[in-house]
C-alpha cells in the first residue's frame, strides 16, 4: 500500500457538542470510542473527534503506511520534525510530525 491520507482528526474542547454538530449539520453517524474520542461515520473519509488533553490545535491529516519506522526515517530525511514520538493507540501505532512549512500531520500503521 502506498502512503496516503486515510484519516482526519478534528480537535475539540467538547466532543459531544462537536459530534452533535456534525450529526445535525451533515447527517454523519457517531461512534463512541471512550470519554475523549469519537469516530464519525459516513464523512467521506475516516474521521474522528479528539477531545483528549494531548489533542493538536488544528485538524490533523493522518497518513497510513505499511512500515512506520521507514516512514519516520523518510519524514526526518525530508526535513520533518517529530512532534510526538511513536505511540500505540486502539487502531495501531503512530507518530506526529511537523513538515518544514509548519503543518502538523501524523503517520500510522494499522494494528492487524
This prediction has a pTM of 0.86
> What's domain 4-110's superfamily in CATH?
2,3-Dihydroxybiphenyl 1,2-Dioxygenase, domain 1 (3.10.180.10)
Quick: pLDDT tens for 79-111: 999 999 999 998 899 999 999 989 999 999 998
Percent of the chain residues topping a pLDDT of 90: 89
The DSSP bridge pattern shows strands 81-89 and 92-98 to be: antiparallel
Q: Which residues lie across from 54 on neighbouring strands?
A: none
Residues 111 and 92: their CA atoms lie apart, in Å, by: 4
Amino acid at each position: 500500500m502506498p502512503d496516503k491520507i486515510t484519516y482526519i482528526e478534528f480537535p475539540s474542547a467538547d466532543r459531544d457538542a462537536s459530534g452533535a454538530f456534525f450529526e445535525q449539520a451533515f447527517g454523519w453517524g457517531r461512534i463512541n470510542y471512550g470519554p475523549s474520542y469519537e469516530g464519525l461515520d459516513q464523512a467521506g473519509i475516516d474521521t474522528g473527534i479528539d477531545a483528549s488533553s494531548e489533542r493538536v490545535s488544528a485538524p490533523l491529516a493522518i497518513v497510513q503506511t505499511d512500515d512506520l519506522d521507514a516512514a519516520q526515517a523518510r519524514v526526518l530525511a525530508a526535513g520533518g520534525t517529530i512532534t510526538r514520538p511513536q505511540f500505540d493507540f486502539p487502531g495501531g501505532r503512530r507518530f506526529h510530525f511537523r513538515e518544514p512549512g509548519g503543518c502538523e500531520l501524523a503517520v500510522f500503521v494499522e494494528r492487524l
